[in-house]
Structure 1
C-alpha cells in the first residue's frame, strides 16, 4: 500500500430542508389553519479515527465530500427527514487544519475519536410557527439554513513508542525487522527506506511497544534536504528516541552530535525526549574499534541485528523509558473516566 501522509479535501454539510407553507383543506372545515411541516436538518460531516488505517491514500482519489440535504416539509404538518450524515474515516494520528486560516481544528489520536468538522444547516420552520392571534393565516415559511463548508488539510503523524533516527545505512530497517515482524526493504545503499515503517516489538509478560523507522536523515534535513523534513514529523509523537550510528563510522561522536542538531532545528522539544544511542553493525566492527565516551547522561548500547548482540538489553532499556509514560497515560485516562 502506498504511504501518503498529507491531503487536502473539501467538505460540505447538507443544507436544511425548507419549511412548508400550507393550510388545512378538508370538507366541512372552510377555514383550516396553517399546517406546513418543518424542513429536516442537513447532514453533518464527521471525521473518525481508525487504528486499522495507516495512510491518507484514499484522499488522493476523492477530494470532495458532501452530506445529504434535509428533506423539505410538507402539508398536514409533515416534517421533512434529516439528511444523512457523512463519517469520513482517517488514521489515528491525523492532524486537521483549516486550509484557509491554517488554524488547528483537531488532533485525532484515539481509535474511535470523532470530530464534527462541518455542521448541517437547520431545517426551516413551517408556517404554523408564524401564526399569532392577529395573524392567523401566515403565508410565510422559513427556508432551510446553509450547511457549513470548508477545505481542510489532513496531516498524518505516526503514533509510536520508539522512533529510530539515523543517517542512511545506519541499520534502522535491519533493526526493526530483527525486533518485530515488520518487513521493510533492506539493501546496502542509501535511502532504501522511502516511507516510515511501524513494527510491534513483543516484550516480556505479554507487553509490547511500537517502533517506527523513518527514512535516513542527512545534514540539512530540518531545512528540507533529502527526505528529512517530510518524515521528521513522524517521530514528534514518539515517547523515546533511539539514535543509531554505525560502528564503521569514521566519527561516531560527530554523527551523533549532527543528528541531535538536526532534530533540535526541526523541533527543540525533541531533545527533551528520553533517548538511547545505539552503535549498530557490531558484527562488522573494524579491528581496534573503541567506542567514544559520551558521559553518564547518555545510555550507549552496542548491538548487531544480524547476530542478535545486545537486542534483549536494548528491549529492556527501551521499556524502562517507555513504561513511566504508559503509567502516566493510564492514570490520566482513569481520572477522565
Structure 2
C-alpha cells in the first residue's frame, strides 16, 4: 500500500467517524437559539428568548468543533450526560461593536436580539456563550440547560414561507457545501425583476472572482424574493425613512455608509426557509454602502452600477466564507496570518 492510498483511507475513516458521531448526538435538523444581549461599555448580560426547530442542518456533519479561533464570542454545546463538548461556533455581534461607540462610553444601554444556529441535539445540552478577555482567551458569560425532548422548551411550529425561494447554484447536499442565501431589502413588488437581476449579477461576479471561482463546486446559493412596502432603505442622516421588510438602514453607529439591520428575528425567520451558512442582504438604494459582522450577515448596496467587487471583499472578511471553501488556499493562509496579528474579530466590516 503506497502512502497516498493510506492517506486516502485515513481521510475516509475520519469522515466516517465524524458522520457517526453526528448521527449519534444530533438530528439532521437545526436548533435556533434566540436571546437578548443587553449592556453598555464594559457591562453585558444575556437572557434566553426562545428556541426553534428549523429545517435541515446546513453546517458540517464532520467538523463540529470550531478550531478557527475567530470571532469575539464562542457558543459551546456540552452533552449533559457526559459533560463532553460536542459543538462550538465562533462569531461576532452588533452588540460588541455598539460597546465601542461614544454613546456606550457615556453609559447608554442597548439591547440587541441575537441567534445561534446549531444541529438539533438528541439529548439534554448545556448551551454556553463565552467572550474573549483582554488576553484573547474565551471566558464564559452565559449558560443555560436546554432539553430538546421537553415539549415546552422548543417551538416546533411550522412557518409558511412568506416569499419565493429560488436556487441560483446547487452542487450537492447542504451538509457538504457552503450554503449562501441572498435576500433583498428595499425592493417593492414592482422591483422584483430588478432584485432577480441584482442577485444573479452578484452570484456571477462572486464566482468569477478568485478564490471562489476555483471553488464554485463547493457552494450552494439561494435567493429569497423578499418584498418591502416601498423602494429603498432608510437614511437617517437625510431624514429619509423607509418601511423595508428587513429593516436595513444607513448611518449605523453614526457612519453614513454603514448599513446594518437590528431586525434579527425577522431576518432569521425569512432566511430559515432554506438551509444556510451565510447571509447576504442586497439593499435597493443609490448610496454607496454596506457592511457586515463576522458570521452574522453582510449587506451590499445594489443600485449604482450593480453590486461590485467591494461586496466580494466584504463577504470574505465579514462572513468568513473561507472557513470551508477557502481554507486550503494561499490567500486564506495569508488572511489567517493577518488575523492572528491584528484583532479583527470585534469589529464589523464597513464599505
TM-score w.r.t. length of structure 2: 0.29
Q: Which structure has the bigger radius of gyration?
A: 1
